[in-house]
Amino acid sequence: MTMENAMPTEAAETAPPRFDTLPLDAKLLRAVAESGYLAMTPIQAKAIPIVLAGRDVMGAAQTGTGKTAAFTLPLLQKMMRHENASMSPARHPVRALVLAPTRELADQVAANVKKYAQHSLLRSAVVFGGVDMKPQTEELRKGVEVLIATPGRLLDHIEQKVAVLNQVEYVVLDEADRMLDIGFLPDLQRILSYLPKERQTLLFSATFSPEIRRLANSYLQDPVTVEVARPNATATNVEQRFYSVTDDDKRAVVRQLLRQRELTQAIVFVNSKLGAARLARSFERDGLKTQALHGDKSQDERLKALAAFKRGEVEVLVATDVAARGLDIADLPGVFNFDVPFNSEDYIHRIGRTGRAGASGLAITLVTRDDMRMIGEIERLIKKKIEIEPIELEDDRPRRPRRRSFDEERDAPSAEVESRAEPRVEARGDARPAPPMRRTQSADPFFDRPYEPSGSGTAIWEKGAAVKAEEADKAAMPAAPRGGLSPNIRAKKKVASLLGGGRA
């Protein structure tokens, strides 16, 4: 075969397959086309046929490659046979259960399910914590085929006998490694105990550690592993930069890079809820439109902040790792790791918020001296050497003078010590010695006269000795008689007139 004949065949093989080549219902294909999707991503092209065939799947792909549609579309297709227009809740039992680790991810998956099923009669609902249970209870009692939930709130509905799962045919663990890694295992075991033994189970995530793989295998029956990229790999269309900074310069570096790179929006990831709130207030004082997203906020506040960011009303979203998984924000230009994540796998999820659906993105990580151990763990995970670059700040902020050590203070010349003791006038970016203070003349000349000793000039201790001698001489002399009376007769005491004294 000649080269000319081989080239068209190779081009045809590399062309991404289209959704309309799949055996999907016309209602689903219509919804996909209206969403603007024509060609499938690699994870969708590999996983959808396997799910349609009824096999259990473990799907691993880079974040932002369309894993949600990879399990949503085939499950909706398989449930189309149960589609009906009956108003009876009994005709709409829960047949597919999707479990997600965070409220934001559950809400996003629910939005995708509603979008793909909009032309069908299939019903869906989402339940998660942080909001009132009553509206969720009313919706579940009406009957739904697809239920998206976080584990804790789902158990609450199960205990109230509102969520009945005895007819579930399909189970999906979205972001499965996170589900099994952050303490959801007891809740998952309880939920799975309410499900039928005969079911199809799907696990999708961006990362799978060997421990998670072994644990997940206990939930699946003869699973098919679908990996479209090297495990734990980062997206190739995301530019990753690492800058060496100090803690005091981090905020200024973020502002400078936002300006230099002309980033209209960015997510700034931190490791703590308190740090997120404080940093958001600092950016607000710097003039940036900022919102904070963390676990201490109510669900309503979190959803409003996320919606405002998606509408472009917020420039900087300061978030903890609740925003690192599954959030799909179209055309997000960049993310910042203000704090290096404690868990190296969270790094992949964080930077996966940018560069989605084939777009380019920028991921910047600020590294301090204390972060080197975590940087080494990220290197081992992504199997790539990380180059940490220096960065020079443009602003001329006044720097605090370096405090001298004890030895330097001891060895400093006395004249220098005296000069440092002089009062100084501190100004922004300037420190000059103050002029010598002038003594002003008092208005009363008495206070300006020199000291003059008063009296004869005898010292106070000499005066005391003379007085004591004079008193001793007087005591030795006999007292003169008063009124012809004997000196042995005591005189009358003087009494005040008010008490009867002084009368003749």
Q: Which domains does the chain have, with CATH numbers?
A: 14-227 (3.40.50.300), 238-390 (3.40.50.300)
pLDDT in tens, 117-133: 999 999 999 999 888 89
Tokens describing residue 155: 């158990």
pLDDT in tens, 39-54: 888 889 999 999 999 9
pLDDT in tens, 3-39: 334 334 333 446 678 888 999 999 999 999 998 888 8
Each residue of 190-208: b (16+ CB within 10 Å) or e?
A: ebbeebeeebbbbbbbbbb
Tokens describing residue 117: 């099923």
Q: What is the pLDDT of residue 324?
A: 73
Separation between Cα atoms, residue 330 and residue 359, nearest integer Å: 9
Average pLDDT, the chain: 79
Q: What is the pLDDT of residue 368?
A: 93
pLDDT in tens, 195-208: 998 999 998 876 67
Q: What is the pLDDT of residue 5?
A: 40
Instruction: Quickly state the pLDDT bin for 371 (edges 50, 70, 90).
Output: very high
CA distances from 231 to 96, 308, 451 (A): 28, 34, 92
8 Å CB contact between 361 and 237: yes
Separation between Cα atoms, residue 100 and residue 376, nearest integer Å: 29
pLDDT in tens, 141-186: 999 999 999 999 999 999 999 999 999 999 998 887 777 666 677 8
- Tokens 């499950």 locate to 75
pLDDT in tens, 218-228: 788 888 888 87
